[in-house]
Amino acid sequence: MHKKIKISIALIAALMLAVFAVNLVMATTQVGKVSAANTPATAINAKIIADDGTPISPEQAADPEQLKKLVPATFEEAERSIIPTRRRFLMWTYDGVHVMWGTYGRGYFAGTDNLGKRCWGIYGRGIFAGFYDGQFFWGKYSNGAWKAQYLFGSASSYGKYLTFPQLTASSVSP
């Protein structure tokens, strides 16, 4: 039993280091970045001001069917919505069976888990919803913990998460 726990902890630590390394590389390169000149600033600012940076209203958060309508149709569409404020996340279930990593920003997230399955969706005001391997899920998050219904193919799952702030050029040493 102790050996399994040690292996799980080592796996999570290795994944965290890998995510941090990828975050450093992405922060120092121009790959995946979109210039603000390519998008009208007024449209971006109007959306952020209108819904406080999240695409979920309190009324929509109470109804899973309304949440489902807000989620982007594809993984690629969710990734495009994250740019330009791309940050990294790492989340896992308490039993250590499922680990997911990816990017988030502007109320959208996209990620991949340790089984190679893709996940994408929306978040805000303590609620998140999306698609995992094509199946709709929703849940709540707060203070580094989350609980969801139908995520990872389970009727109910819960765990912890970490977020990594966006690195700036001045925070990366040459």
Within 10 A of 84 (CB to CB), how many other CB atoms are there? Answer: 15
List the alpha helices (DSSP H) in 29-93: 41-51, 58-61, 64-70, 75-82
More confident residue, 45 or 28: 28
Residue 25 has pLDDT above 80, yes or no: no
Residue 168: DSSP 8-state: -
More confident residue, 108 or 6: 108
Tell me the average pLDDT across 166-174. 55
Tokens of 169: 């050029």
Residue 39 has pLDDT above 80, yes or no: no
Tally of structural domains, the chain: 1
pLDDT value, residue 31: 40
Residue numbers of the domain that contains 163: 2-171
Tell me the average pLDDT across 82-109. 89
pLDDT value, residue 91: 96
Q: CB of 130 within 8 A of CB of 109?
A: yes
pLDDT value, residue 82: 77
With a pLDDT cut of 70, the percent of the chain lying above it is 64
128-151 residue pLDDT tens: 999 999 899 999 999 999 999 999
Tell me the average pLDDT across 79-93. 84
pLDDT value, residue 59: 75
15 pLDDT band, cuts 50/70/90, is: low
Burial of 113 (0-12, 13-18, 19+ CB in 10 A): buried
pLDDT value, residue 50: 32
pLDDT value, residue 5: 73
Beta strand 99-105 with 157-164 is: unpaired
Residue 44 has pLDDT above 90, yes or no: no
Lowest mean pLDDT among 8-12, 39-43, 79-83: 39-43
